[in-house]
Chain A
């Protein structure tokens, strides 16, 4: 070794080489490893910063997610809602259309659902009302997504900024309607009496089943349908798409309609199964979290179940740590941030390998 070293003068300590595709089990174990490392690191930080023993930290996290039947169902429900929004953003992202407007699309469809309840509640049967709400939500979500898509297709406007701005417009519209609908001036609608999804087994099951069906449907749509193929091609290269006769504008607009409509379903589910109301925080930032869920899963709907579980598990678990130790809720966000940093960082080790000095030479 020492001999080799003296022969080569300017070789750096290590250099980075692009990997060939690595076997699945390896990439999965690297990812799991990164989560383990991240959790260990977080436990260490907890120990140093808030004096919580690592075991207690993990125990509390698990307790927060699996501690009671209610918590398990809450986790499943949160997972389902996040998954639904993640599935909604996926086709657009796969097409490299940077739609960061899921937040606004969900919020607008919540607003549309609540509008149906306010104007038609009590005037028609619950089933009719639910159908109206679902239709209104889906149409509203689709409209909110298709506006930036049309502008992108016709005038090549920047879809990232456009969809972001649409979020702010949605928030303001919700504020406006709350002022109109609540004459007392408190801008608080409270829980409404009509348009509740039926309880089958418990109040979450219908929602979970709907999202499960959407997950399977989206998997089939992306992988086994012509539409899914067109989305992939447009995402890989618009020029190739043109060359093989795909109408890129049409695909962009159509995909965003699908995307927005799915956000609409998410909004409908939030209103009819959970909140029965709307506030400016109804989407709760999940429109943005969903982007990460989708990316982490590499746009694969089935893997998205796992990535949404990861995010929901972290949020719910770390919140429990914050509650039990009575510390600031800023702390959970730091922990979630650290873990995501590790998880995203490990992609580097999947795509590249580090070659240390000497190793290569010894191979030779």
Chain B
């Protein structure tokens, strides 16, 4: 027993030695950096000093294993490189649930000296808002949220991107693939049925799958679509099962909103073409991946960091577009895509940019119909209230004005040609 005790004591002492030795090291390091920043402050312009002090805090729902959060992390890294920020100037808090933990994380980031704090998940919003009210000197930015434009807080901001345009482009690629399959006799025109794996029957998802479907329909008029919901933003098994169910139900092409590799993997196994989201899956699905649309968050991160450093206001409700570089497509996988896809996508993209092509074109015949009739008017729920009452007329000038009255999508019309297999979610 005594031996064991003395062994433990010896170990403890060893640890202490270690600790003190290295403590000395870090103390020295601290001094070094102090003098360095001191020099910069002393002889350089105020601009660099502001840059050196600037800190961005990022709150993420999951970590790099979720494609959704990885997309944000890549955006931060890109902005960091472009602005020449150091590692110390960015603090990322991962796996922060949509609860009081988000508020705590935001407060902790304020204590750490962050000038701008960003959160990436829809459910973070009310907790970010609470922190924004408490710390008026710090800028709070929240992706996918809906409340900034009505809250009237100077330091709380929302952001999203017109990803429906990206989905539309991805839909065009899907439509071309359907056309190629019809041409080579694999399917008839009537069999051109797309399958879509959605998360919830929420506007963001509805806007996403409808724009995707419209893209396909714009080149392949006979296209129809089945949508299967999973009731989760991230559930690999459920997504894979949903994709397999859709394939078994004669869907000849699959796309998805949900965030995991479930649907792409199911497609690769079954040899069914897949249009992906959030990032390329070509490495894992070389035979079936066509193209993916994604939001590039780097332009937004650049914007908020630059504005904060310059002391300029951050837009209350910012919508990234193709023009800002926020809505992008991955490289087209020529092995799976139809011939001529790249050229056609360039053409449609140019149309979207100059405004000649509208995604939610309500004026065109046989394009957007509800119960066989054209969509002439629609009250959308733009201003969030407890009862989610529709409040804003969104159809005007021959198209549905998506992401114009606020950045987060509000198109939630159920149009003809799309069948919801389970809309309990």
**Is B187 an interface residue, CB under 8 A from the partner?**
no
CA distance A30 to B2 in the complex (A): 11
CA distance A191 to B100 in the complex (A): 9
Write the A167-201 contact mask toward B (1 if CB under 8 angstroms, else 0): 00000000100010001111110110000000000
Option from A55, A186, A279, A282 in Cβ contact (under 8 Å) with B23? A55
**Is A209 an interface residue, CB under 8 A from the partner?**
no
Q: Nearest Cβ distance between residue A97 and chain B, in whole angstroms?
A: 30
Whether A191 lies near B20 (C-beta < 8 A) is no
**Is A227 an interface residue, CB under 8 A from the partner?**
no
- Which chain A positions have C-beta within 8 A of B425? 179, 185, 187
Whether B22 lies near A56 (C-beta < 8 A) is yes
**Is B248 an interface residue, CB under 8 A from the partner?**
no
- Which chain A positions have C-beta within 8 A of B9? 33
Within 8 A of A (CB), among B159-199: none
Q: Interface stretch among B124-132, B251-259, B329-337?
A: B124-132
- By beta carbon, the residue of chain A nearest B231 is A175
Q: Nearest Cβ distance between residue B161 and chain A, in whole angstroms?
A: 18
CA distance A39 to B412 in the complex (A): 53
Whether A43 lies near B126 (C-beta < 8 A) is no
Number of A residues contacting the other chain (C-beta, 8 Å)?
A: 46
Option from B1, B26, B90, B91 in Cβ contact (under 8 Å) with A59? B26
- Which chain B positions have C-beta within 8 A of A353? 1
CA distance A40 to B200 in the complex (A): 47
Within 8 A of A (CB), among B1-54: 1, 4-5, 8-9, 11-12, 14-15, 18-23, 25-26
**Is B150 an interface residue, CB under 8 A from the partner?**
no
Question: Assuming A179-B425, A279-B98, is B11 touching A190 (CB within 8 A)?
Answer: no
Q: Nearest Cβ distance between residue B5 and chain A, in whole angstroms?
A: 7
- By beta carbon, the residue of chain B nearest A172 is B231
Whether A36 lies near B15 (C-beta < 8 A) is yes
- By beta carbon, the residue of chain A nearest B206 is A185
Option from B4, B97, B412, B424 in Cβ contact (under 8 Å) with A279? B97
- Which chain A positions have C-beta within 8 A of B381? 184
Most interface-central of A55, A68, A353 (chain B CB within 10 A):
A55
Q: Nearest Cβ distance between residue B224 and chain A, in whole angstroms?
A: 23
- By beta carbon, the residue of chain B nearest A333 is B95
Write the B84-122 contact mask toward A (1 if CB under 8 angstroms, else 0): 000100111111011110001001100100000000001
Whether A191 lies near B126 (C-beta < 8 A) is yes
Option from A54, A74, A184 in Cβ contact (under 8 Å) with B104? A74
Question: Assuming A184-B381, A188-B122, A326-B92, is B15 touching A279 (CB within 8 A)?
Answer: no
Question: Assuming A279-B97, A329-B95, is B21 touching A55 (CB within 8 A)?
Answer: yes
Option from B5, B14, B63, B125 in Cβ contact (under 8 Å) with A29? B5
CA distance A59 to B29 in the complex (A): 14
Question: Assuming A33-B11, A37-B8, A185-B203, is B93 touching A55 (CB within 8 A)?
Answer: no
- Which chain A positions have C-beta within 8 A of B87? 326
Option from A37, A71, A322 in Cβ contact (under 8 Å) with B11? A37
Question: Assuming A59-B23, A329-B94, is B99 touching A184 (CB within 8 A)?
Answer: no
Q: Nearest Cβ distance between residue A283 and chain B, in whole angstroms?
A: 11
- Which chain B positions have C-beta within 8 A of A323? 91-94
**Is B201 an interface residue, CB under 8 A from the partner?**
yes
**Is B202 an interface residue, CB under 8 A from the partner?**
yes
- Which chain A positions have C-beta within 8 A of B94? 322-323, 329
Whether B97 lies near A187 (C-beta < 8 A) is no
- By beta carbon, the residue of chain B nearest A281 is B97
**Is A337 an interface residue, CB under 8 A from the partner?**
no
Most interface-central of A26, A56, A191 (chain B CB within 10 A):
A191
Whether A274 lies near B123 (C-beta < 8 A) is no
Whether B202 lies near A277 (C-beta < 8 A) is no
Whether A190 lies near B125 (C-beta < 8 A) is yes
- Which chain B positions have C-beta within 8 A of A36? 8, 11-12, 15
CA distance A281 to B387 in the complex (A): 24
Whether A186 lies near B98 (C-beta < 8 A) is no
Residue positions of B touching A, CB distance < 8 A: 1, 4-5, 8-9, 11-12, 14-15, 18-23, 25-26, 63-64, 87, 90-95, 97-100, 104, 107-108, 111, 122-123, 125-127, 130, 200-205, 231, 381, 387-388, 412, 424-425
What 3 A-B pairs come out closest when comparing CB atoms?
A55-B22, A33-B8, A191-B126
Query: Can you report 9 A-B residue pairs in the complex whose CB atoms are below 8 A from each other?
Result: A40-B15, A55-B25, A70-B107, A70-B108, A70-B111, A179-B231, A183-B387, A184-B202, A323-B94
